Amino acid sequence: VRSRHWIEWLVLACSVGVVAALFVLLVYDGLTRMGDPRLRVVLSAPVRQDSAWVVPLSLRNDGSAAAAGVDVEVTLSTGGGQTSSTVTIAFAPGGSEVEAGVLFDENPSLGRLEPRVLGYELP
Amino acid sequence: MAASVFDRDSYLRALVRAGAGGLLFGMPLLYTMEVWWSGFVLPWWKVLLVLGIGAFFVSAFTRIEGFRRDRTLGEVAEDAAVSFGIGIAIATVMLVVLGQLDSGSSLREWVGMIALETVPVAIGASVARALLGERGGGGDGSSIEPGAWGQAIVAAGGALFFALNVAPTDEPVLIGIGNRWWLNVVLLAATIPVTFGIVFYADFRGSHRRRREKGSVSPTLTPAGETMISLAAAFAVSALLLWLFGRLGSGTGFATAVDQIISLGFVAAIGAAAARLLL
């Protein structure tokens, strides 16, 4: 066996390192995160935008499986009744957070906002 | 124990060549959104399986031609590891630059996408070294005739390498199930003469001519034998890839499965036939 040059050592060590890291992280994430998509919606403070109000929201998936075509409905209850807006989010990968927003014509700060996940598809 | 001299320039050139090959062959999949999505949609053990299959073929291609000429099994493993190292580096940088991975991505997105995109880049890197490497030197013109298993592995490697560009996309499914039944029959019928044509008449690198001159008689090295091996490898690899990417499963009807395997099999067969002669 001939002795290796330090460049060969360096390239080999880096390669083995990243391959091992990728392997370990993939298995670790696969074994620690179990089950179906677990979706929850977190609302942020409404923002005025031209004639409408935008309620920014983030959809979090704490499960391991990805969800596709996630329908999110946000209902605004005021003294005058209820209005709801919906948004469809194409993909919510496991363990991820996706930003979105829904729009209302009246100021959402004057009532109560209730988010709800209507359904999703398993891709 | 004669320590051979380390040629830094040629080693670095081989690394750059591998990187260039990885970029060249991996680029179509780095720009395919179905592969990004598969990174987090596929169950983790399937991603691991794709990595394992990739490692097997990278080792097989490395065995044919590596960074260094005097290769032991350990050195093949070493070179395969370096191919994967190059693959991971290129896949990571490209996915970040293409905006598919950022601080908001989960660990699963990072490892899943990088793992899947690494495989074509690493295979590309090893194929580039096998095909585009400097020939000759100490060799006698590379004339080790592969056995039937060796042939099957090389054919499957070519099929995988080629079909991987198409398998994760929606098109094989669309063609397979959307096409008129008799057009699928035509496609299947065309697969056989096209494979035979590439194996026999195209005869890249003149391997058949060389064998005829040497009077090679093994039945698996005849054009018909090689065509059969290429076709078998192509359809097996097609079925495997379709299953890995979730196109085939327990819920898939028999006719749908066959139609998809035919549509992807045509692509895989071209790769399998060409690989037999290129490598």
Q: How far apart are CA B187 and CA B139, in angstroms?
A: 41
β-strand pairing of A81-92 with A67-78: antiparallel
Give how far the C-alpha of residue B36 lies from the chain's centroid of Cα atoms, to the nearest Å.
Answer: 19
The per-residue pLDDT for range B110-127, each reduced to its tens digit, is 999 999 999 999 999 988
Work out the mean pLDDT of chain A and round it to a whole number.
90
For chain A, how big is the Rg over CA atoms in Å? 23
Mutate which: A1, A7, A18, vs B, most B CBs within 10 A? A18
Strand order in the sheet with A67-78: A81-92, A67-78, A112-121
Reference B52, options A12, A28, A21, A19; nearest CA is A19
Reference B41, options A94, A120, A35; nearest CA is A94
Q: How far apart are CA B101 and CA B106, in angstroms?
A: 9
Indicate yes or no: CB of B47 within 8 angstroms of CB of A5: no
Three-state secondary structure call for residue A87: strand
**Bridge-partner residues for A81, per DSSP?**
A78
Three-state secondary structure call for residue A118: strand
Q: Check whether B72 has a pLDDT greater than 60.
A: yes
Do A29 and B44 meet the contact criterion of CB atoms below 8 Å apart? yes
B-chain CB neighbours of A1 within 8 Å are 1
The per-residue pLDDT for range A18-55, each reduced to its tens digit, is 999 999 999 998 888 767 889 999 999 999 988 899 99
- B77 vs A: CB within 8 A: no
Confidence at residue B67, expressed as pLDDT on a 0 to 100 scale: 46
- B245 vs A: CB within 8 A: no
Q: Check whether B90 has a pLDDT greater than 80.
A: yes
Position with higher pLDDT, B45 vs B210: B45
Query: ipTM score here?
Result: 0.81
Give the pLDDT band of residue B68 (cuts 50, 70, 90): very low
Give the pLDDT band of residue B145 (cuts 50, 70, 90): low
Indicate yes or no: CB of A94 within 8 angstroms of CB of B108: yes
How far away is chain A from the Cα of B79, in angstroms, using its nearest Cα? 8
How far away is chain A from the Cα of B185, in angstroms, using its nearest Cα? 30
Tell me the two tokens of residue A51.
């004639």
Q: Check whether B136 has a pLDDT greater than 80.
A: no
Do B53 and B118 meet the contact criterion of CB atoms below 8 Å apart? no
Q: How far apart are CA B198 and CA B276, in angstroms?
A: 9
Give mean pLDDT, residues B235-254. Answer: 91
β-strand pairing of A52-61 with A47-49: antiparallel
Confidence at residue B11, expressed as pLDDT on a 0 to 100 scale: 86
Indicate yes or no: CB of A5 within 8 angstroms of CB of B81: no
Tell me the two tokens of residue A85.
């807006």
A-chain CB neighbours of B11 within 8 Å are 5, 7-8
The per-residue pLDDT for range A97-116, each reduced to its tens digit, is 899 999 999 888 888 999 99
Do B153 and B18 meet the contact criterion of CB atoms below 8 Å apart? no
How far away is chain B from the Cα of A51, in angstroms, using its nearest Cα? 30
Q: Which amino acid would we find at residue B123?
A: I
B12, B88, B107 ranked by CB distance to A18: nearest: B88
Indicate yes or no: CB of A19 within 8 angstroms of CB of B47: no
- B122 vs A: CB within 8 A: no
Q: Is A72 exposed, middle or buried (0-12, 13-18, 19+ CB in 10 A)?
A: buried
Confidence at residue B134, expressed as pLDDT on a 0 to 100 scale: 57
Q: Check whether B143 has a pLDDT greater than 50.
A: no
What's the predicted TM-score (pTM) here? 0.83
A-chain CB neighbours of B12 within 8 Å are 7
B-chain CB neighbours of A3 within 8 Å are 3
φ and ψ at residue B46, rounded to 5 degrees: -75, -40
φ and ψ at residue A18, rounded to 5 degrees: -70, -35
Percent pLDDT > 70 in chain B is 81
For residue A57, give every residue at least 6 positions away whose Cβ sits within 8 Å of its Cβ, in sequence order, or none. A41, A42, A43, A44, A72, A74, A87, A99, A100, A101, A102, A115
How far away is chain B from the Cα of A115, in angstroms, using its nearest Cα? 22
Reference B58, options B13, B10, B125, B3; nearest CA is B125
Confidence at residue B150, expressed as pLDDT on a 0 to 100 scale: 78
Confidence at residue B251, expressed as pLDDT on a 0 to 100 scale: 84
Of B146-150, B210-214, B241-245, the least confident:
B210-214
B-chain CB neighbours of A97 within 8 Å are 104, 106
Q: Is B233 exposed, middle or buried (0-12, 13-18, 19+ CB in 10 A)?
A: buried
In the stretch 47-106 of chain A, residues with CB closer than 8 A to chain B read 64, 66, 68, 91, 93-97, 99
Q: How far apart are CA A27 and CA A32, in angstroms?
A: 8
Q: Check whether B181 has a pLDDT greater than 80.
A: yes
A-chain CB neighbours of B86 within 8 Å are 15
